Amino acid sequence: MAQHKIIVAGLGPGSPEDITPAVFDAVQSSDVIVGYKYYFRFIQHALRPDAICIDSGMKAERKRAEEALEYALQGKTVCVISSGDAGIYGMAPLIYEMMREKGVTDSIEVEVLPGISAFQKAGALLGCPLGHDLCILSLSDLMTPWSRIEKRIEAAAYGDFITAIYNPKSQGRYWQLYRLIEIFAQHRSPDTPVGYVRQAGRPEQEVTLTTLAEFDPEQVDMFTVILIGNTQSYAWEGHFITPRGYYREGQLEQGVKVGQGIMIESFRTIHGELANPDVPLDHKWALIHAIHTTADFEMEKILYTDDKAVERMHQAVLAGKLKTVITDVTMVASGIRKGALERLGVEVKCYLNDPRVAEIAEAKGITRSQAGIRLAVEEHPDALFAVGNAPTAIIELCELIRRGKAQPQGIIAAPVGFVNVRESKYMAKVFKDIPKIIVEGRKGGSNLAATLVNSVLTLDDADALRPGRDV
């Protein structure tokens, strides 16, 4: 080997079989070996008898780099050993930075020999979690401010990267990992695979596969690498798998139709982009339906639901108490999923085109929407009323409730427009005992009212985030 040379070598995670032949050759041919004292045990048999070994403890990285540089300037071939890959949280960047600082880049050759990084070893032990786009994060804030680390965590979670976590927890850093899990929970489902390996490749090795919901930060330490899956990752027979896409290319999940597959992907996309996903599940289910229909994330601000309103209406359906949905216009009725209605034994009725409605409207001097609601209440006073067009329908319903003529199982108030729209929604909001979903302000529409009904009918699909079985 050439003189005036520093070789920065990655030893891998710790087991001799994971050290590359090139690294062994470098160790055997070097005059000086510099490294953290713990790592010398892995290369002891490869050391030359006359080799100078310089070992030091933790947090002495700069001193080791300076000593390596000093010996190299004396004409020695120096091997700086680093665990894992020397370029990943290892010594290689420090060596280059020091050479640049000292102005010796022209007089010393630097060669970097790659090694198996701990995240790669952990991935192999867990199965194949690293099959797609990934990133690596260190939670150590010794040289990186936490504010910057948290931004990177947010980006990794939002970007749906498979994420490897180094330096997850120490005696002095006990809360950072909890914060990371909190952030990832906003962008991943609870059943997202999480694997962690302690002392990868060493005799003390421990391998654990769990989920994001079940992961316990108290079970890890500084010797642990954590791998968090993306939205396609799954566990199978004890293995952590992230598909690359070759096998599933052009295929759908078993039992999933094309339309449902598109809906599932859309819902997952919306969930990942929610500003505040930490809301009750039944509200979130209605919210994602609303955004899916409108592509309007303002729904996060304007979609109002009473406490457990969607759940209460869904339970009323299952209990046979909610058998009829009344809509103000036919467009709302046409948007309610027929398969779900048939499956649950629920009927949809719109009285707008009933001949009796025109007669009532003319005789009473009211709108056809009002007349339709009057007639509907006479025949189905305990229905779910879904309004997506006419604020007068809401106004009429509220008046009939106040007079004791209507006892709805629920109200979906989503009329759209500029006249009496907001006021009608304020009226509906006062009935505390009736579960309500309200699109506040001027926004609304028939398609929105329909999709909110669909959210009520399909709430049992919310936990798995799998919409569209009735598509």
DSSP 216-264: -GGG--TTEEEEE--TT-EEETTEEE---STTTTT---TT--HHHHHHH
Q: Judge if 24 and 53 occupy the same domain.
A: yes
Asked if the structure places residue 202 within a domain, the reply is yes
Asked if the structure places residue 292 within a domain, the reply is yes
User: Residue 111 burial (CB < 10 Å; 0-12/13-18/19+)?
Assistant: middle
241: left (phi over 0), alpha (psi -120 to 50) or beta: beta
How far, in Å, CA of 185 to CA of 155, rounded? 13
User: Residue 381 burial (CB < 10 Å; 0-12/13-18/19+)?
Assistant: middle
Residue numbers annotated as active site: 292
Which is it for the CA torsion 227, 230, 231, 232, positive or negative? negative
Q: Judge if 150 and 206 occupy the same domain.
A: yes
**Distance of alpha carbon 73 from the chain centroid:** 51
Q: 324: helix, coil or strand? A: strand
Asked if the structure places residue 470 within a domain, the reply is no
Q: Which of 157, 160, 151, 149 is nearest to 185 (CA)?
A: 157
Q: What is the CATH number of the domain that holds 336?
A: 3.40.50.10230
The tally of domains found in the chain comes to 3
Task: State the residue for tokens 């006073």.
Answer: 381
Asked if the structure places residue 393 within a domain, the reply is yes
Q: Judge if 274 and 394 occupy the same domain.
A: yes
Q: Which residues contact 120 (CB under 8 A, 6 or more apart)?
A: 130
Pair of tokens at residue 148: 């910057």
Q: What is the CATH number of the domain that holds 72?
A: 3.40.1010.10
Q: How many residues does the chain have?
A: 471
Amino acid 88: pLDDT: 95
User: Residue 420 burial (CB < 10 Å; 0-12/13-18/19+)?
Assistant: middle
Task: State the residue for tokens 């979903």.
Answer: 437
Q: Strand pairing partners for 438?
A: 304, 413
DSSP 256-312: --HHHHHHHHHHHHHHHH-S---S-HHHHHHHHHHHHHH--TTHHHHEEE-TTHHHH
Residue type, 327: T
Asked if the structure places residue 310 within a domain, the reply is yes
Q: Judge if 363 and 419 occupy the same domain.
A: yes
Element (H, E) at 313: helix 309-318
Q: Judge if 390 and 457 occupy the same domain.
A: yes
Amino acid 317: pLDDT: 97
Q: Judge if 230 and 275 occupy the same domain.
A: no
Kindly state the DSSP code that residue 167 receives in the 8-state scheme: S
Query: What distances in angstroms separate CA 39 from CA 33, 77, 93, 146, 204, one per listed residue?
Result: 11, 19, 19, 29, 15
Q: Judge if 200 and 104 occupy the same domain.
A: no
What pairing do the DSSP bridges indicate for beta strands 206-211 and 193-198? antiparallel
Q: Tell me the CA end-to-end span of the chain in Å, nearest whole number.
A: 68
Q: Judge if 194 and 53 occupy the same domain.
A: no
Q: What is the pTM of this model?
A: 0.62
Per-residue model confidence as pLDDT tens for the chain (471 residues): 445 899 999 999 878 889 999 999 999 999 999 999 888 988 988 899 999 999 887 778 999 999 999 999 999 999 999 999 999 999 999 999 999 998 887 889 999 999 999 999 999 999 999 999 999 999 999 889 999 999 999 999 999 999 999 999 998 999 999 999 999 999 988 999 999 999 998 889 999 999 999 999 999 999 999 999 998 899 999 999 999 876 554 455 566 777 888 898 899 889 888 998 889 999 999 999 999 999 999 999 999 999 999 999 999 999 999 999 999 999 999 999 999 999 999 999 999 999 999 999 999 999 999 999 999 999 999 999 999 999 999 999 999 999 999 999 999 999 999 999 999 999 999 999 999 999 999 999 999 999 999 999 999 999 888 898 887
